[in-house]
Structure 1
Amino acid sequence: MMREMNMRKLVLITGLCGALAACNQPSVSLTNVSADEVEKQTKAAGLGSQIKAGEWETKVDLLDIEMPGINPAMKAEMLKRAKETKVHSYCISEEEAKRPGGIFTGNDTGECTYSKFEMSAGKVDITMVCPGQSGGKMTMHVAGTFSADTIAAVSEMKGEGQFPMQMKANVNSRRLGECKTGSPKK
């Protein structure tokens, strides 16, 4: 009986410690801000060093693609080609690691705005809107988890304008080690 009570206390204390640890994690929750503001706020919150610089590998698995007017056979062929897992290796510099917004979305050129940027306790939920090439806009939503060495997320993109389309993909990244000479930059 005493042992069972001690186990319950241990479970309760462990749960409380976990909850308190999560409460003390740095976090950022922003709406309608620029890439510069995301960088400033993540740095102020101590989130700018959550991702390690170095050689990274990203695998992209396309889940779905929609384009108005595309015939089913063409869509099937596009999905077949796109479903072949794409693997990209690149180097994230120390400077880039301090700007997590661009790491998750692939773009922090200043042309885009973040309608939503939430990053906390190993989770990220970002919606970014960029001007499109054909006069419309491109909206990208990324939601998932991360650690210093890994990222696992679902990415959804919606393009408007002359050639509207929607895509959904699983994105998994992992740090391989230090950057190699000649590695492409992020």
Structure 2
Amino acid sequence: MKYGLCVAVSVLCLAGCNKGPTVELKNASGNQVSNAVTRSGVMTSGSMIEPGLWQSKVTVLEMNVPGMPPQYAEKMKQSMAEHRNEGRKHCVTEADVKKPKEDFFGADKSCRYGHFTMGGGKIDIQMVCREENMTQTTNMAGTYTPTSYSMDMSSNGSGPQNGMTMKMHIDAQRVGECTGKDD
């Protein structure tokens, strides 16, 4: 009986660890997402990313650009293979974490979020951008901790270029403090 009670209490405590602020929106602008994230406290909950110097590595898994001459496509694939293991550093400030700007999540005024779900260490986003006679749909899903994140992303375009597609994976981790020199 005591063992069963201990297991039940442990499960409830672990379930409680995954609770916390979340944001769930559909058909929202970048500004609406930014405001909802700020109001929810998800960015300042202690489970969101820490400010500091972050290094990210992007691995392009697939890229298809219909109509691109084969020699350019081959050069692009070769360049991606050569730079596969290179990381890029960027600074995430305390202000970025406490009050994200409208473009913090990558949306500009031509874009809307089909859905935006964030909280409990998980993120799932669909963003649709429309300009003139082109539409680009981007899906992102992954996990995050205060010091790392991992995300899969796919993007499909339609319009005059007739269907560019891309799939990539992003891994990032906090590598130190921002210095102003290397960020």
Does 2:15 match 1:14? no
Question: C-alpha separation between the residues in 1 aligned to 2:142 and 2:101?
Answer: 13
Does 2:38 match 1:31? no
Alignment of structure 1 residues 144-183 onto 2, 5 Å: 144-163=142-161, 164-183=163-182
Moved more, 63-72 or 169-178: 63-72
Query: 1:153 offset after TM fit, Å?
Result: 0.6
Residue 139 of structure 1: aligned partner: 137
Cα 1:122–1:101 change in 2 (3 A) is farther
The one-letter amino acid paired with 1:174 is Q
Match of 2:37 among 37, 42, 45: 42
Stretches of structure 2 lacking an aligned partner (at least 5 in a row): none
The one-letter amino acid paired with 2:14 is G
Cα 1:64–1:126 change in 2 (3 A) is same
Match of 1:58 among 39, 43, 56: 56
Cα 1:17–1:137 change in 2 (3 A) is same
Q: Note the aligned Cα RMSD (angstroms).
A: 2.6
Residue 93 of structure 1: aligned partner: 93
Query: 1:20 offset after TM fit, Å?
Result: 3.0
Aligned residues: 176
Q: Normalising by structure 2, report the TM-score.
A: 0.82
Question: C-alpha separation between the residues in 2 aligned to 1:113 and 1:177?
Answer: 33
Cα 1:53–1:100 change in 2 (3 A) is farther
1:51 touches 1:100 (CA, 8 Å); kept in 2? no
Question: C-alpha separation between the residues in 2 aligned to 1:46 and 1:146?
Answer: 16
Residue 109 of structure 1: aligned partner: 108
Percent of residue pairs bearing the same amino acid type = 28
Question: C-alpha separation between the residues in 1 aligned to 2:111 and 2:75?
Answer: 32
Residue 68 of structure 1: aligned partner: 66
Q: Normalising by structure 1, report the TM-score.
A: 0.81
Report Cα offsets for 1:138-166 as digits up to 9, x if no partner. 22111000112111010111122222311
Report Cα offsets for 1:15-35 as digits up to 9, x if no partner. 12212332x311110011111
Cα 1:109–1:54 change in 2 (3 A) is farther
Query: 1:70 offset after TM fit, Å?
Result: 5.2
